Amino acid sequence: MALNDTTTMEMSYAEAAVLAVQREMEADPKVVVLGEDVGRGGIFGQYKGLQQRFGDQRVIDTPISEAAIMGAGVGMALAGLRPVVEMRVVDFALCGMDELVNQAAKNRFMFGGQGRVPLVARMPGGIWDASAAQHSQSLEAWFAHMPGLVVVSPSTPQDNYSLLRAALQCGDPVVYIEHKALWGARGPVDETLAVPLGQAACLREGDALTLVSWGKQLQACAAACDALAAEGLAVELIDLRTLWPWDREAVLSSCARTGRLLVVHEAVQAAGFGAEIAATAAEATDCRIARLGAPRIPVGYAQVLETQSRVTAEAIVAAARKLAG
């Protein structure tokens, strides 16, 4: 459904991703896709119709071997292609970690820039309803820790379109983490809007405290902001969007102004990426700082157990009240 102009359409998070890959494949014949089930559109519909449009030599179905898929993608990139490497879910990417971490991430450095690995590894992350511990992990901190990798986590259909195109144009290996529970989320997408990697978005302005998050966790943060606003606390909400390189200037300037910083993520709090943001802010500003993440437990299958791993709007409100008090 068209919105205000011919370039802006209402679409889902998954449809926005399909459109982004389609546009890059149309613009550059070196862009290819490989992975399990991509020919039939992917398990979330994030490649729907692409094999029919571009053929099975550019949208390539692979055997069930993440090491082989990632290894082939690295080889393709070194040979001059720009592969989209589909891992189905981030949990499965652990089987391809050597190829990504020891080969893709380090090649440009180890060989003095003679080789580049311009691949995008799509790794849907986060809690997947009733999918238990091996299908519900948030592992972005692992990849942000690794020199040579760019890490992206879009939270809206617009960002999934714009950031996926930016990732495919990047020239370096990008770990692209779409949330498993966002595929059906709908919103406006402007095809002409370019979003550079490394630039955060300020979703709400406020002066009581700065709240930083990314991915699907922004939904709970927005709900918390509504509740806090009703109490007279105006929260500045920042969507990081890119975890590495992350937008230090946006975060530090905001929390220096508000005097308080709360970092919230769906991932386990212990050694989560929020700790990096908190430590950087502590070194650079005098603001009060808190962080909030999941307990250090595997995500349970039963709903009552799964709920224990979720960071709720109520928990965010409580943490914000304590920080602002």
Q: Indicate if 60 and 179 belong to the same structural domain.
A: yes
Q: Is 247 part of a structural domain of the chain?
A: yes
Q: Is residue 195 part of a domain?
A: no
Annotated catalytic residue, options 135, 145, 179, 265: 135
State the chain's mean pLDDT as an integer.
96
Q: What is the spatial distance between Cα 44 and Cα 184, in angstroms, rounded to a whole number? A: 9
Question: Does 3 map to a domain?
Answer: no
**Residue 135 is a catalytic residue:** yes
Which stretches of the chain drop beneath a pLDDT of 70?
A: 1-6
CB atoms within 10 A of CB 268: 19
Residues pairing with 268 in the sheet: 294
The confidence score (pLDDT) of residue 2 equals 45
Boundary of a domain, candidates 157, 190, 223: 190
Residue 271 in tokens: 């050694």
Asked whether residue 97 is assigned to any structural domain, the reply reads yes
Question: Which pLDDT belongs to residue 5?
Answer: 55
Residue 1 lies in a domain: no
DSSP state of 113: T
Q: What is the pLDDT of residue 7?
A: 80
Please say which residue of 160, 190, 220 terminates a domain: 190
What total of structural domains would you count in the chain? 2
Could you read off the pLDDT of 263-311 as tens digits, one per residue? 999 999 999 999 999 999 999 999 999 999 999 999 999 999 999 999 9
pLDDT at 1: 44
Residues 250 and 224 in one domain: yes
Let me know: does 155 contact 216? Beta carbons within 8 Å: yes
Please report the pLDDT score of residue 325 as a whole number. Answer: 85
Q: Does 213 share its domain with 168?
A: no
213 shares its domain with 78: no
Q: Is residue 210 part of a domain?
A: yes
Name the one residue in this structure whose structure tokens are 């690995």: 117
- Same domain? For 172 and 263 the reply is no
H or E segment and range at residue 281: helix 273-284
| Domain identity same for 21 and 112 | yes
Domain of residue 80: give its range: 8-190
